[in-house]
Amino acid sequence: MRALQLIRSGEPPVLADLPCPEPGPGEVAVRIEACGLNFADLLMIEGKYQDTPPLPFVMGMEAAGVVTACGPGTRLQPGARVAVFAGRGGLAEAGVFPETRCTALPDAMSAEQAAAFQIAYGTSHLALTRRGRLAPGETLVVLGAAGGVGLTAVEIGRRLGARVIAVARGTKLKVAQDAGAEVLIDSDTPDLRAALKAAGGADVVYDAIGGAAGEAAFRALKPGGRYLVIGFASGAPPVLPVNIALVKNLEIHGLYWGGYLALDPAMLRDSMAELFGWFAAGGLRPHISGSYPLERALDALEQLRARRSTGKIVVTMGGSHETRDFPPGHA
């Protein structure tokens, strides 16, 4: 099988021919059809991600495909369509994964949609419903609102009845508006804190960017507000003035979605079940801005690194050399 393998940190991964693995007890073999890219993939290449597997390893944190074989003690059957979150192994034509990391797909969900679904929607759902306790009528500020996780925060926040303020760069704001944002603020605005305060301030801040933008949004929180630490796409964590947290009774919550596999797997399963139910009912529209064949996976990663994408980028394993860059609003 072909697979994108990271051999040494700090160097680009390589497309390699590797043996197809066989499933053991509790495992299933999957013919992978699509794999979603995440900012964490870039951090793994640089050796900076908190959960980087031992080298060498096949990249790709989340994938979707069809079960082809099952090891002893599994309930899935060959032919089942599944989404897989394994943290690695998705950027390949086949893989073996624990059955516990597989979720059966709704009939209406394509492999590309499934590969773009779990981490982004799962992160935002747990952050907003469990950590942020976002309530109808509250104001949610989303930093990086056109990105892979940010766009799902806009969509879920709106579904939960919040007023959503989207912060993103320039023309990308249109995608956030289409997802339900009511107020649009360009991230290049000279004084983000002042712009957020003028828009009424925030009950909850969803920060996937960090840096100066994160600090500005933190300062725009209303008393009793909640600040959600999601990621640092700017390259640096925000420097948060905790004296303001004291005076305004603010809460600061970190959210690492993959960590819930150990912290509270039941909560993660319940969250994903609700999200897949929302999708099946037509309530969620995964936004995919580009689809690349496996042989162009490095180009896809570069699109992610350069922040040229909105929503998610996926890599497909169907053997096609076609690359598709979708227009804004594609679902």
- pLDDT bin (cut points 50, 70, 90) of residue 327 is very low
Domain housing 139: 120-258
Amino acid at 118: Q
Residues 150 and 251 in one domain: yes
Q: Residue 126: inside a domain, yes or no? A: yes
Q: CA 252, 256, 262 angle in degrees (round to 5)?
A: 120
> Is the separation of the CB atoms in 255 and 229 below 8 Å?
yes
Residues 132 and 18 in one domain: no
Q: How many domains, in total, are found in the chain?
A: 2
What are the tens digits of pLDDT across the range 213-260?
Answer: 999 999 999 999 999 999 999 989 999 999 999 999 999 999 999 999
Mean pLDDT, the chain, rounded, equals: 94
Q: What percent of the chain has pLDDT over 70?
A: 96
Residues 223 and 143 in one domain: yes
Q: Residue 107: inside a domain, yes or no? A: yes
Residues 75 and 205 in one domain: no
What is the C-alpha to C-alpha distance for residues 30 and 305, in angstroms, rounded to an integer?
28
- Last residue of some domain: 216, 242, 258? 258
- pLDDT bin (cut points 50, 70, 90) of residue 331 is very low
pLDDT higher than threshold 70 for residue 284? yes
What are the tens digits of pLDDT across the range 158-185?
Answer: 999 999 999 999 999 999 999 999 999 9
pLDDT higher than threshold 70 for residue 19? yes
What are the tens digits of pLDDT across the range 96-132?
Answer: 999 999 999 999 999 999 999 999 999 999 999 999 9
Predicted local distance difference test score (pLDDT) of residue 318: 76
Radius of gyration for the alpha carbons in the chain, expressed in angstroms and rounded: 20
Q: Residue 280: inside a domain, yes or no? A: no
Q: Which of 193, 192, 214, 195 is nearest to 205 (CA)?
A: 214
What is the C-alpha to C-alpha distance for residues 283 and 180, in angstroms, rounded to an integer?
12
Mean predicted confidence (pLDDT) in 300-308: 92
- pLDDT bin (cut points 50, 70, 90) of residue 319 is low
Using DSSP's 3-state secondary structure scheme, residue 46 falls into helix
CATH code where residue 24 lies: 3.90.180.10
Give the predicted TM-score (pTM) of the model.
0.92
CATH code where residue 210 lies: 3.40.50.720
Q: Which of 112, 58, 59, 57 is nearest to 83 (CA)?
A: 112
Residues 200 and 91 in one domain: no
Q: Residue 273: inside a domain, yes or no? A: no
Residues 226 and 307 in one domain: no
- pLDDT bin (cut points 50, 70, 90) of residue 50 is confident
